[in-house]
Amino acid sequence: MDLQPRSRALAGLLALLVLAVAAVGSALGVRPPAPLPAGAPAEQFSAARAQAHLERIAAEPRPAGSPAAAEVRAYLESVLTGLGLESASQEAVGSTGSDREYFAAAPVHNVVAVLPGTGPTGRVFLVAHHDTQPLTPGAADDGAAVAALLETARALTQGPRPRNDVVFVLTDAEETFLLGAEAFVGRHPLAADGGVLLNLEARGNAGPVITHSTTPGGAPLVALLGAVAPHPVATSFAGEFRQRMAHTTDFGIFAHDDRFTGWDSANIDGSAAYHRPEDRPGALDPRTLQHHGSNALALARALGDADVPALTDRTGADATHFPVLGRLVQYSAALTWPLAALAAAIAAAAAVVTLRRGAATWPRAVAGLGAAAVPLVAAPLLAHGLWLLLVALRPGYAQMLDPWRPGWFRAAALALVAAVVLAWYALVRRRIGPGGLRLGVLGSLTITGLVLAAVAPGAAYLAVLPAVGAGLAVLAGVTAGTAAVASVVGAAVAVLVLVPAVVLVLPALGLAGVWSTALLAVLLALALVPVLEAVRPDTPRPATPHPVRPDDGPPGGGPSVREAVPALVATGLAVTCVVTGLAVDRFDPAHPAPAHLAYALDADTGRARWVSADRRPGDWAASYVTAREDLARSFPVLGGDLAAGPARAAALPAPRLRVESDRTEGGERTVLLRIEPRRTVHSVHVSVPDGTVLGAELMGREAETRGERGRFEAWFFAPPPEGVTLRLVLAGGGPASVRVLDVSHGLDGMPGFRPRPPGVGTDGDLTADAVVVGRTVVLD
């Protein structure tokens, strides 16, 4: 159905309204649910009831080995035992594998509780970690997940017992290289036969809980999640991002073992509080807590009555999946390339039909394809430029993934993308014409889909499905004369697919990675271009089947003033949002600018330094550091090229290193050492700067002999009062030097330390506010 020019304005408004409704529905479909009150039915999950647990769990920092951690473990065990579960603490030494920069180990205390099944076919594992980084109460990371599992356990006891054993695993030392999970998977008898797990995590204190990863062969798991979870927010493209990120969770330990299958989930918004003192119970969004628990309870009930062996088969298919209007859509990952090929075939057919009917010419079609690449490059670059501008205006942002209140800046980034696309559209439309523009947009979507199918198959749907919709719309518009309706339907596919992706990626990668969100937003905006063309009053409509204009568009030339208005409005909106964001998001005591500072004392020389890992130290940190210094050899826990400055030496005792045995045989020297901190510390670190280490054993765990820096390094957390034993097998019988460090946290009392001013806070790094004392011992 073709529209007369006078009707196209009304049709355009109607089309935009339909797409706007679809966009709002898509965005609302991935928001967390409303929290249920404490008076909710007993069989339901209540965020308010879980919050009461959280207040107890996250009252103070609870790093592994601390008295606060022991108090929380006792509380967890008492709650789980009070619910009738079989609860016990696993005590072991956890250690890292060979994929780390250095070997790490710690004594761990995992809380493990079992709700026995009536006729088990296997085990279901619900996993969260109860420890924190040294300076944060960890309400979101991972106190919310622990509290959610306590409330889930209570709800499970309110009805019939499940068929399968449900095992609650609250791990220790996750924040120190996943050591608790390693100990459980490697040495706990309940892990021996494997099973299905759900891991709950957080990288912020707000936002929906995203099921971002599954184990290989996860199609049945995705289907189960979509069928039983009341609020399923999961996407296969998140798994592609996850594989490329250094950040990992306990799930990685379980997933590395073929005995286990399952999901990894986390909320990722509100990252400004991540690992910082501001991650307190009152700052957690209760909707996020409800989302954690509602899905965990539903999955626990479903898994509790499922055939576990059928879900632990890793040889099956993977699934491409994504949220649409609050539900989960999935298809076999094996269809990735067939769908990409189908999109290419439809695009080719649309191009042939469009060209044959005279709605476009080859030169303009090629020009359209080249022109469509411009916003795909320009918008991400300008979005990243926006972040650089914000950092220049407010240097404290340089140490952050996202500001404390990023909403206005996120809106500015999206408005900037809109401005780029609208300006591009106004500039190229008259030169290329509507037919060439449609084909260019279609070609760009198709090529992007093919590229994603090759490099990130789980993300290919983001471009392939919009390309299919756009291609069918072009065909319908050219052959049946229904350009307006077909364009809206095709664009609706892009809206339903891409709007949730944009909403989820914005907090996932933050404004520091806003270029990636801009890329997705450009794909969405390009998919909307045919709608603009179909409803414009001045767009020529070729009669079917004969062409009207071989040159396929209005005369060339620059945009009119009227055509430039939308881009100018979007630009003004972006500027307004930036100005408003700077006014709203100011650093204050409740929302401080992070500043990293540590104190390092070399006991051999008596020299002390202030050290900052900040890329651009702010005024407070800069008052301590004066130059760059490479500390990788003398203080490897702090890193390499760092900002450093002189400090007064404190009267701190260096760790003691005692040789308990020393023998040389067959050209190999075996030394048994005991490292004894002489103050209360969080960890000890030992390295052999020179010489060849043939073998090592730290507290009974075999250690990797050479890390990424080309030398032996080992980091032991929560050392016991009697010290840490280390056995080294060295090549040759000559002397060797051993560098020993101990690490505590808290700079108060260090000579020359001045407390942070209001509006300046600590950083979330493991070495933030660290006091490091080191010495070198030569083994003659």
Q: How far apart are CA 258 and CA 314, in angstroms?
A: 8
Proportion of the chain above pLDDT 70, given as a percent: 93
CA 554 to centroid of chain Cα atoms: 47
pLDDT in tens, 278-318: 999 999 999 999 999 999 999 999 999 999 999 999 999 99
What's the gap between Cα 59 and its chain centre? 25
**Cα separation, 420 vs 372, whole angstroms:** 12
- Which residue intervals of 394-482 are DSSP H helices? 407-455, 461-480
Burial class (CB in 10 A: 0-12, 13-18, 19+), 639: middle
Query: How far is it between the farthest Cα atoms of the chain?
Result: 97
Q: Which residues contact 457 (CB under 8 A, 6 or more apart)?
A: 240, 320, 333, 336
From CA 300, how far away is CA 758, in angstroms rounded?
45
Instruction: Specify the pLDDT at position 689.
Output: 86
Phi-psi region of 270 (alpha: psi -120 to 50; beta: other; left: phi over 0): left
Amino acid identity, residue 74? A
Q: What is the pLDDT of residue 534?
A: 65
Strand 123-129, strand 195-202: pairing? parallel
Each residue's pLDDT tens digit, 232-277: 999 999 888 776 665 589 999 999 999 999 999 999 999 999 999 9
Give residue 485's pLDDT band: very low, low, confident or very high (50, 70, 90). Answer: confident
Q: Which residues of 726-740 are buried (b: 16+ CB within 10 A; e: fewer)?
A: bbbebeeeeebebbb
SS3 177: coil
Residue 494 has pLDDT above 50, yes or no: yes
3-class SS of residue 366: helix
CB 493 within 8 A of CB 469: yes
pLDDT in tens, 705-717: 665 555 789 999 9
pLDDT of 162 over the 60 cut: yes
**pLDDT tens digits, 108-137:** 999 999 999 999 999 999 999 999 999 999
Give the pLDDT band (50/70/90) at residue 4: low
Report the relative pairing of strands 593-595 and 327-332 from DSSP bridges.
unpaired
pLDDT at position 555 is: 45
Q: How many residues does the chain have?
A: 780
Residue type, 507: P
Terminal Cα-to-Cα distance of the chain (whole angstroms): 92
Give Cβ neighbours of residue 21 (< 8 Å, ≥ 6 apart): none
Instruction: Tell me which H or E stretch contains 387.
Output: helix 362-393
pLDDT band at 37 (very low <50, low <70, confident <90, very high): very high
Q: What value does the mean pLDDT of the chain take?
A: 92
pLDDT bin (cut points 50, 70, 90) of residue 529 is confident
Residue 463 — very low, low, confident or very high, per pLDDT cuts 50/70/90?
A: very high
d(CA 428, CA 503): 29
- Round to whole Å and give the CA distance between 710 and 184: 30
Report the Cα 394 to chain-centroid distance in Å. Answer: 24
Instruction: Classify 34 as helix, strand or coil.
Output: coil
Query: Three-state DSSP class for 110?
Result: strand
Which tokens belong to 595?
A: 């500043």
How far is it, in rounded angstroms, from Cα 675 to Cα 722? 9
Q: Which two tokens stand for residue 519?
A: 């890329």
Does residue 309 have a cis bond before it (omega within 30 degrees)? no
When mean pLDDT is compared across 196-200, 605-609, 665-669, the lowest value belongs to: 665-669
Per-residue pLDDT at 244? 62
How far is Cα 721 from Cα 441, in angstroms, rounded to an integer?
67
Each residue of 664-679: pLDDT tens digit? Answer: 988 899 999 999 999 9
Q: What is the pLDDT of residue 159?
A: 87
